[in-house]
Amino acid sequence: MRTLEKYASLNLLWIFPIIVPLGTILLSFYLQEWYWGLVDDATILSWGHTVGERFINDFGTRLSNDRVQFLFSLRSALFYTWFENSPTTLHLLKWVEATMTLLVWGLAIKKISGRLLGAVMFASITLSFNYFYDTFFFISLQDVLGLLFLGIGLNCCLSAFDASSHTRAVTLAVFGILGIVLGVTTNERMTAIGLAYGLGFILVGLMGSSNYRRALILGVSIFGASVTYALFLKLYMQPEGGHTSTYSITNFSRMGGNIIAWITKDVLNHSPWLLGLAILASHRGRISKFATKQKWGMLFGGLQYFLFLLLLIPWMTISYVAGPLGVLFAFPVSIYLAHVLPQSSIYLRVLAPVAALLLNMLISQRALTRESLYHYDTQNLMAWIRGNPEFQLAADGGLVYCNAWEGGGAIPAHLERDFGVLIPGFTYKGLDQNSFRTGQIMVYTPRFGSDTDTFSPDLWETQFYSKFWQVYVHK
pLDDT in tens, 96-140: 999 999 999 999 999 999 999 999 999 999 999 999 999 999 999
Neighbours of 330 (CB within 10 A): 29
CA–CA dist 139, 38 (Å, integer): 10
CA–CA dist 189, 178 (Å, integer): 18
| Contact call for residues 426 and 442 (beta carbons, < 8 A) | no
Based on the domain organization, do 418 and 310 belong to the same domain? no
141: exposed, middle or buried (C-beta count within 10 Å: 0-12, 13-18, 19+)?
Answer: buried
Based on the domain organization, do 147 and 80 belong to the same domain? yes
Based on the domain organization, do 398 and 364 belong to the same domain? no
Contacts 24+ apart (CB under 8 A), 391-394: 391/441, 391/463, 391/471, 392/421, 392/423, 394/439, 394/441
Contacts 24+ apart (CB under 8 A), 170-178: 173/214, 173/217, 173/218, 176/218, 177/153, 177/218, 177/221, 177/222, 177/225, 178/153
Residue 251: DSSP 8-state: -
Based on the domain organization, do 435 and 319 belong to the same domain? no
Based on the domain organization, do 434 and 465 belong to the same domain? yes
Whether 413 is covered by a domain: the verdict is yes
Based on the domain organization, do 81 and 148 belong to the same domain? yes
Torsion of CA 4, 6, 11, 16, to 10 degrees: 150
> Identity (one letter) of the amino acid at 136?
F
Model pLDDT, residue 287 = 66
Which of residues 340, 371, 402 is at a domain's end? 371
Which of residues 371, 400, 426 is at a domain's end? 371
Whether 379 is covered by a domain: the verdict is no
Model pLDDT, residue 284 = 61
| Contact call for residues 142 and 150 (beta carbons, < 8 A) | no
Whether 376 is covered by a domain: the verdict is no
Nearest to 422 by CA among 440, 395, 403: 395
Q: What is the enclosing helix (H) or strand (E) of 444?
A: strand 441-444
Whether 304 is covered by a domain: the verdict is yes
| Contact call for residues 185 and 69 (beta carbons, < 8 A) | yes
Whether 247 is covered by a domain: the verdict is yes
Based on the domain organization, do 342 and 431 belong to the same domain? no
Q: How far apart are the first and last CA of the chain?
A: 79
What backbone phi and psi angles, to 5 degrees, belong to 129? -95, 120
What backbone phi and psi angles, to 5 degrees, belong to 64? -70, -20
What backbone phi and psi angles, to 5 degrees, belong to 88? -60, -40
| Contact call for residues 38 and 404 (beta carbons, < 8 A) | yes
Which portions of the chain are predicted below pLDDT 50? 1, 4-5
Whether 342 is covered by a domain: the verdict is yes
CA–CA dist 312, 320 (Å, integer): 12
| Contact call for residues 194 and 208 (beta carbons, < 8 A) | no
Model pLDDT, residue 239 = 53
Strand pairing category for 427-428 and 400-402: parallel
Based on the domain organization, do 340 and 432 belong to the same domain? no
Which of residues 371, 403, 429 is at a domain's end? 371
CA 326, chain centre distance (Å): 8
Q: b or e along 49-61 (b: 16 or more beta carbons within 10 Å of the residue's beta carbon)?
A: eebeebbebbbee
Model pLDDT, residue 4 = 47
Which three-class secondary structure string do you get for 49-70?
CCHHHHHHHHHHHHHHCCCCCH
The CA R_g of the chain, rounded to the nearest whole Å, is: 24
Q: At what angle do helices 70-82 and 143-161 cross, to 10 degrees?
A: 120
Strand partners, 469: none
Model pLDDT, residue 12 = 87
Domain carrying residue 77: 2-371
What are the DSSP calls for 382-413, one per residue?
A: HHHHHT-HHHHHHHHTT-EEES-HHHHHHHHH
Residue 265: DSSP 8-state: I
Please state the domain count of the chain: 2
Model pLDDT, residue 402 = 96
Nearest to 384 by CA among 405, 400, 368: 400
As separate numbers, helices (DSSP H) first and strands (DSSP E) second, the chain gives: 19, 5
Sequence-ordered list of residues with C-beta below 8 angstroms from that of 64, at least 6 positions apart, any chain: none
Based on the domain organization, do 100 and 199 belong to the same domain? yes
Based on the domain organization, do 269 and 418 belong to the same domain? no
Based on the domain organization, do 130 and 275 belong to the same domain? yes
Based on the domain organization, do 354 and 441 belong to the same domain? no
Whether 200 is covered by a domain: the verdict is yes
| Contact call for residues 61 and 40 (beta carbons, < 8 A) | no
Whether 425 is covered by a domain: the verdict is yes
CA–CA dist 44, 46 (Å, integer): 5
